[in-house]
Structure 1
């Protein structure tokens, strides 16, 4: 065990953050010996009695601010091997430089952390780029965060990536850590140094509804913009869904966040530097509930981003396999709020892309007075898809170049007349529900 290769160098003129500092600074390093290895083992396990004994042991030379250097890959591998041999391989803090208080804060060893602070460990030491407070918040240990704050840790200190502790409150017990930071003076709108994100941006992007609510209660700006011009509402709408299993929960959290932000006055139509708006992002991800919420706020349904794309374009360009819900509902909602129809010449491309979702084709076709498709359009659809949706595609291709039924033509004429106020006017018409649903493009799975 004495061969543990972790090079530690003693430099009394070095500041605990890694730069030059006053003589007598607590940076302690040397080649690991039996007591040093035993000390690190005790810190890793949270063995406060052993930590106390070793620190008090005469001649051990151990310090509460000893810095463990893992920057040499060969030595780090040997350290890792030895720790595994001790059955201690659960160290999660893997910065090149770490100290006992970082490990204790990261693992939630409150007693060890308190002991180290009592023995003079510097709460804002950051030899690896983060302070112990960053570690406590990142790992969700509010008790450790409180000990550090009481000991004088700076609640607004940035880490090596320019993020403040409040930006790292994303995991378990994030809410309690954030409450402590704010109580001890952390800036509720403190910016990260590179992305210029506020903690509210981080909470919105992570779907942390309770944390976002706390930040807003404490005065966070709902329309703060990051370096890309994104507001927290844009951050909430930009979340992608990685797997089908998380779709329902993620869409629900996104909807709650949007409700929360809009309730405190967030701009529902705010555009980033690329002129992308929340509606563009919601439609791109097929989030119909959020899209309908934004549309109810009167956002511009036909606003274009820098690429010339409207929300309808994004709804039709999103990857079909990644959409969290029925994409046809998003397209229908947009068309019922006055979205400009796509150019008829683009219909074959839509047909080819969305052939497995015939309801998208249906709702688009029902905004035209006639079906205009090239003769070879049927060849764009795989035979197995044609067979699966035989009734719909038979009705579609039977209407090419032929007049639609009178009922549809009446619907088209009425919708065209009310084009500027469809979403407000249609529900006010004294019509039975079935007829109102027809006017609002309810799905029939066939064209007439």
Structure 2
């Protein structure tokens, strides 16, 4: 026996025989499938020609042909021209594979995990993927533009995927700009990203209802745009006459919706511009939702200093309570430690300068504990009092890590245990007490150096005295 050979065992030989049988069966299945496909295409051609001669329109049929589906999903125009010649039916319902798994009853008490199927059509597939030429071909072949087997129309699909050319094409061919999906959404409610602006423009040009409501939340398109911080959409909708103070089922106006949305640092300016546009359009600044929360409550909770300044400048009530008995000051103090990069001290300062209620002195040690990572916030709060009763509990309330990181500031705070507040600070408190809620209006008009005016308005110095 040569060095490059080995002996086959009976088990190895049997395995090779099984592999050979499997290969033969696979080749046979391919031949049968090819025969069935050719037969299917011949029958389809005969059926399409008969339908063309009779002039009748067949109802939508289920298409399970993977070749046709592949052509649709890849945008193969040449293949679609072959599959859908003139006079053929293009009103097909397709059940694609994939999606989420769910339990399905298989009968006789047996259940199995299967993929949840969502019915679609050739129009949905091509419109959602931006295959404009393929979509045009299907529409020219007489596809039903408002067919919605899966609960949404092709127009919903094109708007959701930000395909303006497909959106325009569908509208030109008579798509209903106000079609309602099974989730109660019109196409304009689907425009939730900056890239969907062109789709929204086409929808409005073709008669989309600017104040159309969603079924579940009773939102208007302006609510949706405000919630998503879409400045350009807001400007567009306002030009078309959007109602600026409509309330949804939760009592939210578009301004409330914008303020209530959770905002990361990079989102702050975007939402500020949205709120500015809404207020310029006449939005009411003190409208409350079903929980009695105003836009100011929400802007404080999401720590957007620019929006807080904007709302206060437009007459927001600084001490209104919600159903939970909390004022805007409560909302900002509860989230200081989570939003330090948002400059929460600016909000606390603005609220105090507009006459906000202060923290009960007995709760200041707890405040030190929860806001210790933001010494600037603590500084603003402590400077709103003329006298402070600093005890050992204050020292124990500050975590060691925060104490070490902001050592000089906390030393200035703890030194008040043995030292009274400075005369300069007492003078500030006296003047602020006299002006009360007029501090923010009067102080900027005083003929004083800017340094002193900023001091009266509780500007941070990095210490207390």
- TM-score normalized by the length of structure 1: 0.85
CA distance in structure 1 between the partners assigned to 2:101 and 2:410 by the alignment = 66
Size of the aligned set, in residue pairs, is 400
Could you tell me which of 36, 55, 62 is aligned with 1:29? Answer: 62
Tell me if structure 2 keeps the 8 A contact 1:285–1:324: no
1:223 Cα deviation (Å)?
0.6
Could you tell me which of 66, 80, 102 is aligned with 2:92? Answer: 66
Unaligned runs of 5+ in 1: 4-22, 77-93
Could you tell me which of 429, 432, 440 is aligned with 2:457? Answer: 440
1:420 Cα deviation (Å)?
2.4
Question: Counterpart of 1:387?
Answer: 404
Tell me if structure 1 keeps the 8 A contact 2:58–2:89: no
CA distance in structure 1 between the partners assigned to 2:439 and 2:150 by the alignment = 59
CA distance in structure 2 between the partners assigned to 1:95 and 1:201 by the alignment = 31
CA distance in structure 2 between the partners assigned to 1:238 and 1:329 by the alignment = 19
CA distance in structure 1 between the partners assigned to 2:316 and 2:58 by the alignment = 58
What are the Cα deviations for residues 294-314 of structure 1, in whole angstroms up to 9, with x where unaligned? 111121011111111111111
Unaligned runs of 5+ in 2: 1-29, 35-55, 103-115
1:73 Cα deviation (Å)?
7.5
Q: Rg: which structure is higher?
A: 2
Secondary structure at the aligned position of 1:399 is classed as: helix
CA distance in structure 2 between the partners assigned to 1:175 and 1:70 by the alignment = 29
Tell me if structure 2 keeps the 8 A contact 1:282–1:290: yes
CA distance in structure 2 between the partners assigned to 1:179 and 1:72 by the alignment = 33
Tell me if structure 2 keeps the 8 A contact 1:69–1:98: yes
CA distance in structure 1 between the partners assigned to 2:437 and 2:395 by the alignment = 34
What are the Cα deviations for residues 319-365 of structure 1, in whole angstroms up to 9, with x where unaligned? 52345511111111111111111111221111100111111111111
Could you tell me which of 343, 351, 358 is aligned with 2:360? Answer: 343
CA distance in structure 2 between the partners assigned to 1:74 and 1:362 by the alignment = 52
Tell me if structure 1 keeps the 8 A contact 2:286–2:295: yes
Question: Counterpart of 2:69?
Answer: 40
CA distance in structure 2 between the partners assigned to 1:437 and 1:173 by the alignment = 43
1:421 Cα deviation (Å)?
1.0
Query: Measured at CA, do residues 356 and 74 of structure 1 come closer, stay the same or move farther in structure 2, by a change above 3 Å?
Result: closer
Matched, 1:148 2:170: yes
Matched, 1:186 2:182: no
Could you tell me which of 285, 291, 303 is aligned with 1:286? Answer: 303
CA distance in structure 1 between the partners assigned to 2:304 and 2:153 by the alignment = 39
Question: Counterpart of 2:10?
Answer: none
Task: Spell out structure 1 runs of 4+ moving beyond 6 A.
Answer: 71-76
Question: Counterpart of 1:174?
Answer: 196
Tell me if structure 2 keeps the 8 A contact 1:29–1:67: yes
